[in-house]
Chains A and B, each alone.
Chain A
């Protein structure tokens, strides 16, 4: 393979992988604590993108901003808006669709999650465009142009890298560091680890497990929202069903790394991104969505604990 092409695919793979990893963390954190595969998490990613768009529209769709204004004011405000909408949706979903089923057989919340997923897609399809001044949400909506990122490239030698790829990779690095700090250095982070290891004992330590579960949903939603914004800038448009395929692939990434294990989600995401980037380059383009699921099946059959190792759930 031509070296230029090779490096471009490495960057593509890292960028796509970072996107999957950011979403996969949400699957794995929630699974680690309540053993639920939250199939509506892809829609939380979609809500993040729409939340960011909403902030942009509410601000009056500012155009021709200077690069510092776009990067230091508009983009952070949009990310924050995405996080608020994603986390708010996740909390409502947890409270009304999952918490009432906490003691039920595992299949019940799983079905509930699929229901929430369809509900959120249809809700956005039918109602988002009805808000006065908002674009028709039944088809794709152009994602706001962010000066300095959208359409910009950095050239290193003959290799050309999209700024939106760099944004995604940087977002993953920053989020990983923040997540590491939260899990290892804060009291509520330690409580989250303790709850995932033994919820009953966590209760005996004085940990409010309901609060921990809510925080897990919020953490997952916040990272998914950043991914939603990154995706919007990379692809250039968003739609109500964008969470479906991205969600399934991020779920695959979480399983590939070892579901319940945060490091696993990061590794799984990056590996999956790389595989997809090179498979798209070397194989037929129409097959680009096939490889993730081939990997999913292979992992489930031959290494169900994943690359890094799943959380061993041991309960009395």
Chain B
């Protein structure tokens, strides 16, 4: 579904991503691991069209999307829930969700998807008129995922959804991701919480200073010594 070859992304003269290959198959959960500054968020920003690549190709469903403006990429079916959630804090839950559906015109289906998000996250349904900024970290993360889902994406990219959340909340978010997969959404998950991410993932990539250091199935990476030492805190 998503095929990336030789992708390079730079901020000015500093290369943050130095030639990575990555592929996400339809219906899969693929996770991208790595420490801060490894280039994970940059990769997602580039796929979303927020920064153009310096080199390499990005194909989505067989078509090149590298360099397209972000608002067109959303229309093709790629949504992103960004790092740090970045909600419109003064706007209500419902306004945030409706902005997620900005690219769509199918009013009846938007309504149905809104109900689906409210069905997934009860707390959002109950407090739909309240400003997003008043919610807890976990609730805001739910809203960020819900907002991304409102574009009815084929590929959902989540940037560190567990950041700053309690273990219980993290579990809930991970379960939500699993549920979305079973509904047919393909997921590219960027995480620092390697344990949680790899337990879900069909495939994992480990990014180190802008390059893919390792890639394998989620299960294999969970058992890999290097991953266990570097990311899972094993001795």
Contacts and interface: CB of A to CB of B under 8 A. Distances in A.
Mutual binders A and B: yes
Interface of A: 187, 190-191, 193-194, 197-198, 200-209, 316
B99 A191 contact: yes
A194 B88 contact: yes
A206 B71 contact: yes
A248 to B, nearest CB: 31
Given A187-B102, A190-B98, A191-B102, A204 B79 contact: yes
A197 B88 contact: yes
A194 to B, nearest CB: 5
A105 to B, nearest CB: 13
B95 interface: yes
A201 B86 contact: yes
B54 to A, nearest CB: 16
A203 B91 contact: no
A200 B100 CA distance: 13
A200 B50 contact: yes
B74 A190 contact: no
Given A197-B90, A201-B86, A201-B88, A206 B102 contact: yes
8 residue pairs, one from A and one from B, having the closest CB atoms: A206-B103, A203-B70, A206-B74, A208-B71, A205-B102, A206-B102, A201-B86, A206-B71
A205 B151 CA distance: 8
B226 interface: no
B210 interface: no
B103 A205 contact: yes
A198 B100 CA distance: 14
Contacts of A206: 70-71, 74-75, 102-103, 151
Contacts of B82: 200-201, 204
Contacts of A198: 86, 88
A206 B151 CA distance: 8
A245 B48 CA distance: 45
Contacts of A205: 74, 99-100, 102-103, 147, 151
A312 to B, nearest CB: 10
B69 interface: yes
Interface residues of B, number: 26
A200 B70 CA distance: 9
Contact of B50 (A190, A197, A204, A207): A204
B84 interface: yes
B70 A204 contact: yes
B88 A204 contact: no
Interface in B76-97: 79-80, 82, 84, 86, 88-91, 95
Contact of A190 (B79, B95, B151): B95
A203 B50 contact: yes
Interface in B81-125: 82, 84, 86, 88-91, 95, 98-100, 102-103
Nearest to B81: A204
A204 B91 contact: no
B176 to A, nearest CB: 19
Nearest to A198: B86
Given A204-B80, A205-B151, A209-B71, 9 more contacts: A203-B49, A203-B70, A203-B71, A204-B70, A204-B148, A205-B103, A206-B71, A207-B99, A208-B69
Contacts of A200: 50, 82, 86
Nearest to A187: B102
Nearest to A200: B50
Contact of A316 (B84, B100, B103): B84
A184 to B, nearest CB: 9
Contacts of A193: 88, 91
27 contacts: A187-B102, A190-B99, A193-B91, A194-B88, A194-B91, A197-B90, A198-B88, A200-B50, A201-B82, A201-B86, A203-B48, A203-B69, A203-B71, A204-B50, A204-B148, A205-B74, A205-B99, A205-B100, A205-B147, A205-B151, A206-B70, A206-B71, A206-B74, A206-B102, A206-B103, A207-B71, A207-B102
Contacts of A204: 48, 50, 70, 74, 79-80, 82, 148
Chain A CB within 10 A, most for which of B74, B84, B148: B74
A203 B147 CA distance: 13
